[in-house]
Chains A and B, each alone.
Chain A
Amino acid sequence: MGLREYVVRRFLQLIVTFWAFFTLLFVLFRMMPGDPTSMFILDGMTPEQREQRIAELGLDQPLYVQYVEYIRQLLTGDFGQSFIYREPVTDIILIRFMNTIVLMGTALVFAYLIGVTFGALMGWWRNSRFERGGIIVTLMARSSPEFWVGIVLLSVFVFWLGWFPSSGMRTTGGELGGGFVARYGSLDFLRHLFLPALTGAIVYLATPTLLMRSTMLDVLNADFIEIKKAEGLPERTVLYKHAARNSILPLVTVAAIATGAAMGGSVVIETVFNWPGMGREMVRAVNNNDYPVAMAAFFLMGSVVILMNFVADLAYVYLDPRVEYE
């Protein structure tokens, strides 16, 4: 099987995966007890108002009618209207999705930069105190729950040292809206970004560190490293140019998959730091039975996971000629 055939087949699989995914989403959300009017009933919505609203939303229609309508909307790239906010879902989701991407993207970049360097050095200095201490620190970071890391950082950097703001994405009372640069380019934003991104970086640091270390150990035992050393190359050159470079390959897959996972993991970080991202919105939408928003949010997050797996597969084939197309 050639590369092209492999890509085509993988792409078809992708489409089936997507179909199964959003059908499952649809069924799951419709099975959830309650409906979008539940949150208003104790606030005084009358039974007549309730029925009228349900009919307006088309929720009195048979399930298959709603399903067909949902698929039709999706195919035209339309996620519908929020049941609660009464605004197009796209408007609600996109801005929050960007906020989440900026936060988790920063966290992952730091996690992988630090993790890869740290892991390479741990492998290089095998059996040193540095390696043993490094493993303990890494394992601690790996087993700490996100909310706990967040709270510890908050108590040190906010409540004790007072260096950073405790929540949000910018200081309240400033100019709202604005373009990409106005949003994410200011110093105020970076101050707000620091702690939540650090929390994410600490939590996601362990995987690249440990993986890098163990592949380094394999590579260092390979004959060609011995040869390079025998050639009389300086240690530094062997470490960076030959050992580390060859160890990085498995990380490509892991990084792609971790990106997907991190999108889901953002829920906790966003809650602790009140980050106006998609994770928080997802929780709200699920609690309020705001199906269109909840489904769109899950759909986007799930899509990141599915697409990143796809990218990982392709990248692997491209990067490592030894991989066979099955």
Chain B
Amino acid sequence: MAANNTSRRTVLKGAGIGGVVGLTMGISGCLGTDDGTDVEGAEELAGEVPEIHLLAPTAGVNPFRNELASMIAENWEEIGFEVDLDELEFGAHVDQAVVQQDFDASLLGWGGTPERIDPHTFTYDMHHSANTQEGGRNTPGYANDEYDELAELQVTQPDEDERQQTVYEAQEILARDQPRTYIANEGGYHPYASARVTDIQPTLGEGLNSFWNMISATPTDSDTVRFGYPAAINSLNPMLDLATPDRQFVRLIYDQLFRIGEDGLPTPWLATDDPEIEDDGMTYTVEIRDDVTFHDGVDLTIDDVEFTYELYADSPTYGSLVDNIEEIETSGNEITFHLNEQYAPFTANVLGQVYIFPEHIWGGVDPDDLADFEDENWIGSGPFQFVDWERQSELQLEAFDDHFETPNADNFIRVPGSNTAQLIGDLESGQLDMVGTVPQPTAVDRVRDDEDLDLAEFEDIGYVKIAYNMRREPFDDRHLRRALSYGVPKEEYVEFVRDGMGTVTHSTISEHNEFWHNPDVEEFYEDLTAAREELAEGGYGWDDDGRLHYGADQ
């Protein structure tokens, strides 16, 4: 696969460069530098632009992105940079790039979980200057007052059209400044056994891991759906810092007032309707359903809801999620939240995130012990109830028949696999019905050819990107970052490396997030000439070997 790509790529690039050289010779009849283009840089040169230290995942962690990193490094070298490609395991990569912030450029993904469909995470969390601390989400250290204002403004706009306008402008500024190169939304395929399960419902960003898929999937000749994933569940305790695969099952057992719907918008769940929001955008009132019970038969009441929000406020892990709530009132079946300040994504990011707990079980738990609390039966009110669990082997759930959205499968079993290839084997041998991970390209073809199996295609709002460390020279220079962005072969990555899985992106908001995506932002396709022009404009120049230097005037 890799060799194949390289050869295809070499051919393509050969053709491209041939074309450019031919054209420039034909038109101007001269060659400015001996590297094949006529872009003239600064005449008087200062020192060399320092080597770029690019962090990327190993092929074991992510073969696609590993290949992409080599392609990028090659292009950057062609523009005149020196590149030191450093391949890292996942934990080490996150630690060095996100926590230690010791990098020049870092190629990592950012996941598109449903609560990130609201534009807040992708605009405010990832790019506002308040989040540049160690471990913060603004990894590049991007700090732009004009941008900060927009990121703050969108939070306070309850009117969706006004907020959309603000989010549009924010995306334009990001595209212009390129604190990151936004490369591609990596959608993909999740394999499943079409002969054994129907009504699958892959959703945006999550594919078959989606909540809606798990309650919709229907076994054809048994009453059980067996779901494989290449990692065990760490914990089912919703009060822990949970990894995404954990959350995907916690949310089957526990309900929220709202869930992120298949369309990406918060949908009433335990709530009867959309929240009533007062004009100041600071008061939210929600009415809850009166037909809900917990798995042990006890009614879920407004007191449980109030108790839960207070519990969250006391939780060391999740206190910050609800610290914008100043006061809670209840009356009848209604609960009213008074906020400290306006927060437009409140429904999606708070009401849609907080799991409602039974007070009769969690009531006596000391806040400091929440994370270690073991409810052996994990009593929630969700569409599936807990049966049994052996972490290394399987998690067994069964449909909760008293739920207002009874799932289609009576039993749902989650099996942790050792890796994707092994899980696909289990799918082929009939031991699994669905797999929540994207197979290697060779396995994709095998699944396609197997008449019992099929692929569920989905798009993503998360993306792979390169972050530039703007705390350092020369990455604080916009021209240089823009030039580097022109060196990223986005289309080739999606078409050839990922075999068509996913879409190219130029914005922090994916085109699949239709309402919030600004389709008119500046685009950066692979264009090495444009990269050189950008550098020349920034005052850089090249020596006789084609190596990039600072200009003397810079």
Partner-B contacts on A (CB < 8 A): 32-35, 37-53, 84-86, 92, 95-96, 99, 154, 158-159, 162, 165-170, 172-173, 175-177, 270-274, 276, 280-281, 284, 287-289
Please, how many angstroms separate the alpha-carbon atoms of A45 and B242 in the complex?
9
Q: Is the CB of A289 within 8 A of B91?
A: yes
Q: Is B372 an interface residue (CB 8 A)?
A: yes
Q: Is the CB of B320 within 8 A of A38?
A: no
Q: Which of B95-103, B260-268, B521-529 contacts A (4 or more CB under 8 A)?
A: B95-103
The A/B interface has a contact count, at CB < 8 Å, of 148
List chain A residues, Cβ under 8 A from B244.
43
List chain B residues, Cβ under 8 A from A165.
429, 431
Q: Is the CB of A39 within 8 A of B235?
A: no
Q: Which residue of A lies closest to B247 (CB)?
A: A43
Q: Is the CB of A42 within 8 A of B94?
A: yes
Q: Is the CB of B371 within 8 A of A35?
A: no
Q: Is the CB of A271 within 8 A of B422?
A: yes
Q: How far is the CB of A189 from chain B (nearest CB, A)?
A: 12
What would be 27 A-B contacts, judged by CB atoms less than 8 Å apart? A32-B91, A33-B89, A34-B94, A37-B241, A38-B90, A42-B110, A43-B242, A47-B134, A49-B320, A50-B135, A52-B317, A154-B425, A158-B425, A158-B429, A159-B429, A166-B429, A167-B417, A167-B431, A168-B431, A172-B413, A172-B431, A173-B396, A173-B413, A176-B388, A276-B393, A284-B232, A287-B89
Q: How far is the CB of A13 from chain B (nearest CB, A)?
A: 35
List chain B residues, Cβ under 8 A from A272.
418, 422
List chain B residues, Cβ under 8 A from A271.
418-419, 422
List chain B residues, Cβ under 8 A from A158.
425, 429
Q: Is the CB of B90 within 8 A of A33?
A: no
List chain A residues, Cβ under 8 A from B543.
none
Q: Is the CB of B418 within 8 A of A280?
A: yes
Q: Is the CB of A33 within 8 A of B235?
A: no
List chain A residues, Cβ under 8 A from B431.
165-168, 172
- A-B pairs with the 7 shortest C-beta distances? A34-B91, A276-B392, A33-B92, A47-B135, A38-B91, A166-B429, A34-B95
Find A168's partner among B316, B371, B415, B428 (CB 8 Å cutoff): B415
Please, how many angstroms separate the alpha-carbon atoms of A166 and B421 in the complex?
12
Q: Is the CB of A176 within 8 A of B394?
A: yes
Please, how many angstroms separate the alpha-carbon atoms of A51 and B241 in the complex?
12
Q: How far is the CB of B431 from chain A (nearest CB, A)?
A: 6
B201-240 interface bits toward A, Cβ cutoff 8 Å, 1 = contact, 0 = none: 0000000000000000000000010100001101101001
Q: Is the CB of B389 within 8 A of A176?
A: yes
List chain B residues, Cβ under 8 A from A280.
392, 418
Please, how many angstroms separate the alpha-carbon atoms of A197 and B242 in the complex?
36
Find A281's partner among B317, B392, B394 (CB 8 Å cutoff): B392
Q: How far is the CB of A148 from chain B (nearest CB, A)?
A: 13
